[in-house]
Amino acid sequence: MKILIVDDNRDFSATIADVVRAQGWEPLVCNSPEQALALLAKSAQEISLMLLDIEFGSESSMTGIDVLGKSIRVHPNVPVIMISGKGTIEMAVQATKLGAINFIDKSTLNNERLIGVLTAAMDRIRSGTSDEDKRRVMEAHGIIGSSQAMMDVADLILRYGRTDLNVLLLGETGTGKKLVAQALHAVSRRAKHPFVTVDIPNIPRELFQSELFGHMRGSFSGAMENKRGLFHQAHKGTLFMDEIGDMPQELQANLLLPMEQRGVRRLGSVEVEPVDIRFVSATDRNLIEAMSEGRFRDQLYHRLRECDIYIPALRERISDMPEIVEYYVAKHNKELGDNKSVAPGAIDYLQQYTWPGNVRELASTLRVAFQTMSTDELEVADLHRILGRATTASPARQPMQPQQQTAPIAPTTDALHATESEVESDQQKIEKALEKTAGNVSKAAAVLGISRETLHTRIKKYGIDISTYRLA
């Protein structure tokens, strides 16, 4: 394992390197913040731990705290231990807030203590947080999935959660950005304090400052009493600004000074009231594009995005579908005392749909299906009734347009009484569906809007050889 030592005192760095080497680890030494950031940019994935000094000479305009902040944002997988010859409680608190895992005062440092600190840190790194632990944290907040994409999200929630950095959550509508924000709050030191949501699009422009910062009695027509704003309510906790990308450009400047000063001034007041807030924001907009077009302020973007988390769309983690469905089945059965289940063919059907509304749309679909289905097992026909025709697998996973859909086939097996032409038409539709799906019965059933079991019955009845389509 490689340990990066960042200190402008070359003799001290060499001594630390000798201790690191004697323990069987590989030391890497940088004597300036700029060298350290350059090395991290090139080889962060190879570095297991960074020992970082706080004070650097006049040759550098950066401090160790600057390096820590940049490293946590850009390379969150590299744990950092801060070291200082002029350590103070305030420095230690600041370093911890930014995400350092430990803080060492050089004046109390000797070989034995250094070895103890390094050994404890490396043991912690080796053990890490298991995927099962990450899943438990996620599931506690209704975030379901064990795909690598979601394990990466869980890892960032735990890493950023222990810091006071402002987090920008990115992702399409319905991906669960608010749930991630709540999870960040829950694993932070602020968990016992308020989590306050600001629903940006629903705040009238004329009431924006009053809602966020409060007002004094008589400050405007209708202000009959003093009012605390959402910033006050979130004191010592987390303020979640949902749909921040929808904030009108002319209102964005109102956030800059309160975020910078950590204080607010109520409308009608000259007094600045201090607030201790961690800001988490979310958007499904492209803020980089919005900035280039002058619709979003650069200064606000950089204050909001000290680090970011991208929440993948459901179509990007379709392997999580069975787990998500199981979660909502269990949730429905517990709440309504039912005994619902989902047929395997229905899972296949769900995995073929593009889900433009993501998990929110899936949850709504399942809720309607469970409460309106006529049997205890959810079938393709139940889903088809709600969603319409789902697309077969395609690289873009685009939903079928109405004009592209085939005429519906009723999910029954009473074709014995059908006319010869109707039977021929039915058989042709099945054969076309099998050809289109390369013999995949589940996908073909989804195309036809019938259950997999019904399709198997018809395939047997018409004497269709599935293997010929699979070979094709």
For residue 72, the domain's CATH number is 3.40.50.2300
Q: Please give the Cα distance from 259 to 306 (Å, whole number).
A: 12
Give yes or no: residues 292 and 338 share one domain.
no
Per the confidence metrics, is the pTM higher than 0.85? Answer: no
Give yes or no: residues 41 and 145 share one domain.
no
Give yes or no: residues 167 and 305 share one domain.
yes
Give yes or no: residues 460 and 321 share one domain.
yes
Give yes or no: residues 416 and 463 share one domain.
yes
Q: Please give the Cα distance from 312 to 175 (Å, whole number).
A: 7
pLDDT by 10-residue block (mean), the chain, 472 residues: 91 92 90 93 89 86 90 85 79 82 84 86 70 82 91 90 91 95 92 94 88 84 84 95 93 91 87 93 94 94 93 94 94 92 92 92 94 91 78 35 32 37 69 83 73 73 79 48
pLDDT of residue 13: 92
Give yes or no: residues 173 and 302 share one domain.
yes
Give yes or no: residues 222 and 340 share one domain.
no
Q: Of 266, 283, 310, which one is at a domain's C-terminal end?
A: 310
CATH number at residue 162: 3.40.50.300
- How many domains does one find in the chain? 3
pLDDT of residue 17: 93
Condensed to tens digits (0 to 9), the pLDDT of residues 155-168 reads 899 888 888 889 99
pLDDT of residue 127: 62
Give yes or no: residues 112 and 145 share one domain.
no
pLDDT of residue 449: 66
Give yes or no: residues 281 and 154 share one domain.
yes
Give yes or no: residues 95 and 122 share one domain.
yes
pLDDT of residue 112: 85
The parent domain of residue 29 ranges over 2-127
Q: Please give the Cα distance from 268 to 56 (Å, whole number).
A: 45
Give yes or no: residues 64 and 207 share one domain.
no
